[in-house]
Amino acid sequence: MATQERKAVVAVTDGGGRGSVIVEAYLKSPHVEKVLVFPGNDMMAEERSDRVALFPGIKTSDVDQIIALSKENGVTHIDICQDNAVQAGVSDAAFLHGIKVIGPTSVAGRIEWDKEYARRLGDTAEIPQPDWVAFSTIREAEGWLDKMPERKMFVKATGLAEGKGSIRASNKQEALDAIKRLKKEHPMASERFLIEKALVGEESSTFAVSDGTNFIVVGSAQDHKHEKDGDKGDMTGGMGAVSNPLLMRDVVLQEGTESNISKMLAAKREEGNPYRGWIFHGGMAIPIGNDRLKQFLLEWNARLGDPEAQVILPGLNIDLLELGDAIVDGDISGLDIRNDGKVRVVVAVASRGYPRSYKAVRNKEVKSLPELRRLDGINIYGAGIKMEESKHYIAGGRLFYIMTEEIDVLEAREKLSVVLEIVEGMDGENVRFRTDIGWRDVERLRQKSLQ
């Protein structure tokens, strides 16, 4: 294997918490000499600047600069972690320059960056998914809404909108308001938009890897997108996640998820654009009677999720570079990827004001991080933090992530609550976070204890 012949230099296209855990995973590989990160964040290189090089001025979609700097620094592998990097074709360009690519081509990754295309593919492949229609103008949508009975729905930008392109609506007027909001806030992403029937059920995220033909499911998680406890407030990029959710112990849901992934991969092969890399299956478990559930597809991501990666990757027994090489070689069938089964809970500590303006707290010092670094039994993953003279300052929306792991969600949450008290006591005026990550499984366990 090439990784045994010489040390690898890996490039990672990400700047947030997901990138931080991916960088950490590569650094654990004995085959990896150094990791370059485009753009990266300051905490990635904290205490390991000899092995991590950051390029803060480079956007994840800046194909030419990423390739030029990768060639200049002897990059052997590049991991395509960000959605806009997939769309921009970083993978395609790297392949042409002889760099091993972990991630799909732009056309293969279209399942994420073009939601209308993804829905059409789902219909063709007979994947269970919400009823949907697509429009370009508000007038077209209004004409359709006039003919439809009032019902709950989602309005979605078809393009990439930084995880904020989906708005729930309960009636026609709310739907029209949502369209106007998307057109204003994400004009390019919402040139085309979807109106989908709102499904009522429970969401989960399942992750797999594929070599274009074979795939291996490596774990599931539940993201918490809303800004406030109780799933209230505006949508965010993700305020926390829990791994190995009890919901996904349902064999029918597991089989439904695997069926959806298999159908998608077959459709991409038939299309002539085989999908290789990480797969994110966003599912919704819908009750269909007699205590039975059916797994519907909500969305595909052509990469690991954020913050789900922070609770999935630490539980895998695989060398991340060896996994990448197997994907590149087109055969993952010989890999034995196992999940340790622990429950991990991660919470995002965000700037006060996020997901709206956080201008009032920008450049404020985050005083709790040195204290948190001294604690045992937790992992810290950096994101929107700027460092100067070993001090940490607010420079983004989601600042850093705190992850705990235990045998169940109750113990993981108990450990996490102690840590969050420190954050609140030292930085409460400038930051915010949710305290109920994993609440669904907490309720399940409490109900079970009462039986």
pLDDT higher than threshold 60 for residue 3: no
Please give the Cα distance from 78 to 38 (Å, whole number). Answer: 10
Please give the Cα distance from 391 to 91 (Å, whole number). Answer: 36
Higher pLDDT, 448 or 270: 270
Percent of the chain with pLDDT over 70: 98
Full-model pTM: 0.95
Q: Name the average pLDDT for the chain.
A: 96
Q: How many other C-beta atoms lie within 10 A of the C-beta of residue 95?
A: 15
pLDDT digits (tens, 9 = 90+) for 241-283: 999 999 999 999 999 999 999 999 999 999 999 999 999 999 9
The whole-number pLDDT of residue 5 equals 62
Bond before 314 cis per omega within 30 degrees: no
Please give the Cα distance from 99 to 321 (Å, whole number). Answer: 14
**CATH classification (class only), 131-197:** alpha beta
Please give the Cα distance from 53 to 37 (Å, whole number). Answer: 6
pLDDT digits (tens, 9 = 90+) for 130-175: 999 999 999 999 999 999 998 999 999 999 998 889 999 999 999 9
**CATH classification (class only), 202-329:** alpha beta
Our CA angle for 261, 443, 238, nearest 5°, is 50
Show me where the domains of the chain are located.
7-105, 131-197, 202-329, 343-450
Instruction: Indicate left, alpha or beta for 294 from its phi (over 0: left) and psi (-120 to 50: alpha).
Output: beta
Q: What mean pLDDT comes out for the span 219-233?
A: 96
pLDDT digits (tens, 9 = 90+) for 309-327: 999 999 999 999 999 999 9
Domain 7-105 has CATH 3.40.50.20: yes
The whole-number pLDDT of residue 107 equals 98
Higher pLDDT, 289 or 39: 39
**CATH classification (class only), 343-450:** alpha beta
